[in-house]
Amino acid sequence: MTTAKPANPFGLGRIVRGADGSVSRIVEEKDIEDDAVRAIREINVGVYAADAGRLFEALTKVENDNAQNEYYLPDVVRVLLAEGARVEGWCGADPEEGLGVNTRAQLAEAEAALERRRAPSPGSAGGAD
Protein backbone atom coordinates (compact mmCIF):
# COMPACT_ATOMS: atom_id res chain seq x y z
CA MET A 1 0.00 0.00 0.00
CA THR A 2 1.07 3.57 -0.55
CA THR A 3 1.21 6.06 2.30
CA ALA A 4 2.16 9.71 2.76
CA LYS A 5 2.90 12.16 5.56
CA PRO A 6 0.87 15.34 5.07
CA ALA A 7 1.42 18.33 7.35
CA ASN A 8 -2.12 17.93 8.70
CA PRO A 9 -3.48 14.37 8.70
CA PHE A 10 -6.82 15.35 10.29
CA GLY A 11 -9.71 13.35 8.89
CA LEU A 12 -7.53 10.63 7.38
CA GLY A 13 -6.76 7.03 8.29
CA ARG A 14 -3.49 6.68 10.24
CA ILE A 15 -0.96 3.96 9.51
CA VAL A 16 0.13 2.13 12.66
CA ARG A 17 3.32 0.15 12.16
CA GLY A 18 4.70 -2.82 14.03
CA ALA A 19 8.18 -3.06 15.53
CA ASP A 20 9.45 -4.54 12.24
CA GLY A 21 8.13 -1.57 10.23
CA SER A 22 5.28 -3.45 8.56
CA VAL A 23 1.74 -2.09 8.65
CA SER A 24 -0.07 -3.46 11.69
CA ARG A 25 -3.36 -1.58 11.26
CA ILE A 26 -5.10 1.45 9.81
CA VAL A 27 -7.20 3.57 12.14
CA GLU A 28 -9.75 5.94 10.63
CA GLU A 29 -9.93 9.42 12.19
CA LYS A 30 -13.36 8.92 13.80
CA ASP A 31 -12.22 5.63 15.36
CA ILE A 32 -9.06 7.01 17.00
CA GLU A 33 -9.25 6.63 20.77
CA ASP A 34 -5.55 6.98 21.56
CA ASP A 35 -3.55 10.24 21.47
CA ALA A 36 -0.47 8.33 20.29
CA VAL A 37 -2.37 7.16 17.19
CA ARG A 38 -3.80 10.65 16.65
CA ALA A 39 -0.24 12.02 16.65
CA ILE A 40 0.77 9.76 13.74
CA ARG A 41 1.15 11.75 10.52
CA GLU A 42 1.48 8.79 8.13
CA ILE A 43 -1.80 8.25 6.30
CA ASN A 44 -3.33 5.78 3.89
CA VAL A 45 -3.30 7.15 0.33
CA GLY A 46 -5.66 4.38 -0.80
CA VAL A 47 -3.41 2.77 -3.42
CA TYR A 48 -2.98 -0.97 -2.98
CA ALA A 49 -1.21 -3.77 -4.84
CA ALA A 50 -2.41 -7.27 -3.95
CA ASP A 51 -3.26 -10.67 -5.31
CA ALA A 52 -6.75 -10.04 -6.73
CA GLY A 53 -8.26 -13.34 -5.59
CA ARG A 54 -7.01 -12.94 -2.05
CA LEU A 55 -8.09 -9.32 -1.95
CA PHE A 56 -11.64 -10.02 -3.15
CA GLU A 57 -12.00 -12.90 -0.68
CA ALA A 58 -10.83 -10.62 2.15
CA LEU A 59 -13.31 -7.93 1.09
CA THR A 60 -16.18 -10.33 1.77
CA LYS A 61 -15.06 -10.41 5.41
CA VAL A 62 -14.98 -6.64 6.00
CA GLU A 63 -17.59 -5.57 8.57
CA ASN A 64 -19.11 -2.24 9.54
CA ASP A 65 -18.29 -2.37 13.26
CA ASN A 66 -16.86 1.15 13.57
CA ALA A 67 -17.87 4.64 14.70
CA GLN A 68 -19.68 5.40 11.41
CA ASN A 69 -21.22 1.96 10.80
CA GLU A 70 -19.57 2.03 7.37
CA TYR A 71 -17.67 -0.59 5.42
CA TYR A 72 -14.15 0.80 5.33
CA LEU A 73 -12.10 -0.46 2.39
CA PRO A 74 -8.90 -0.13 4.47
CA ASP A 75 -10.33 -2.75 6.85
CA VAL A 76 -9.27 -5.29 4.25
CA VAL A 77 -5.78 -4.80 5.73
CA ARG A 78 -7.09 -5.96 9.13
CA VAL A 79 -8.64 -9.04 7.53
CA LEU A 80 -5.45 -9.92 5.64
CA LEU A 81 -3.32 -9.46 8.75
CA ALA A 82 -5.67 -11.71 10.74
CA GLU A 83 -5.17 -14.35 8.05
CA GLY A 84 -1.39 -14.16 8.48
CA ALA A 85 -0.54 -11.93 5.52
CA ARG A 86 2.19 -9.35 5.79
CA VAL A 87 1.20 -5.86 4.71
CA GLU A 88 3.87 -3.43 3.60
CA GLY A 89 3.46 0.30 3.31
CA TRP A 90 5.59 2.46 1.04
CA CYS A 91 5.73 5.99 2.41
CA GLY A 92 6.90 8.00 -0.53
CA ALA A 93 3.83 9.50 -2.08
CA ASP A 94 3.52 13.25 -2.45
CA PRO A 95 1.35 14.27 0.52
CA GLU A 96 -1.02 16.02 -1.91
CA GLU A 97 -1.76 12.62 -3.44
CA GLY A 98 -3.25 11.58 -0.11
CA LEU A 99 -5.58 14.50 0.39
CA GLY A 100 -8.87 13.37 1.84
CA VAL A 101 -12.12 14.87 0.60
CA ASN A 102 -14.68 14.64 3.38
CA THR A 103 -15.66 18.32 3.61
CA ARG A 104 -16.08 21.29 1.27
CA ALA A 105 -12.86 22.80 2.65
CA GLN A 106 -10.95 19.59 1.86
CA LEU A 107 -12.48 19.56 -1.63
CA ALA A 108 -11.25 23.11 -2.18
CA GLU A 109 -7.76 22.09 -1.02
CA ALA A 110 -7.74 19.09 -3.40
CA GLU A 111 -8.94 21.27 -6.29
CA ALA A 112 -6.18 23.80 -5.59
CA ALA A 113 -3.59 20.99 -5.58
CA LEU A 114 -4.91 19.75 -8.93
CA GLU A 115 -4.75 23.25 -10.41
CA ARG A 116 -1.14 23.62 -9.23
CA ARG A 117 -0.27 20.38 -11.05
CA ARG A 118 -2.06 21.50 -14.20
CA ALA A 119 -0.40 24.89 -14.30
CA PRO A 120 2.45 25.21 -16.80
CA SER A 121 5.86 25.12 -15.18
CA PRO A 122 8.03 28.22 -15.56
CA GLY A 123 9.62 28.23 -19.00
CA SER A 124 7.37 25.55 -20.47
CA ALA A 125 5.36 26.01 -23.66
CA GLY A 126 2.07 24.88 -22.19
CA GLY A 127 0.21 23.08 -19.43
CA ALA A 128 -0.40 19.43 -18.70
CA ASP A 129 -2.95 17.68 -20.86
pLDDT per residue over 51-60, tens digit each?
Answer: 999 999 999 9
CATH assignment of the domain containing 87: 3.90.550.10
Closest C-alpha to 95, from 29, 11, 6, 15 = 6
**9: containing domain:** 2-118
Is the residue at 54 inside a domain? yes
pTM of the shown model: 0.77
Is residue 124 in some structural domain? no
Pairing of β 2-4 and β 90-91:
parallel
CA distance 31 to 40: 14
129 is a domain residue: no
- Domains of the chain: total: 1
125 domain residue, yes or no:
no
The confidence band for 83, taking pLDDT boundaries of 50, 70 and 90, is very high
31 occurs within a structural domain: yes
Q: How far is CA 125 from CA 42, 68, 128, 129, in A?
A: 36, 48, 10, 12
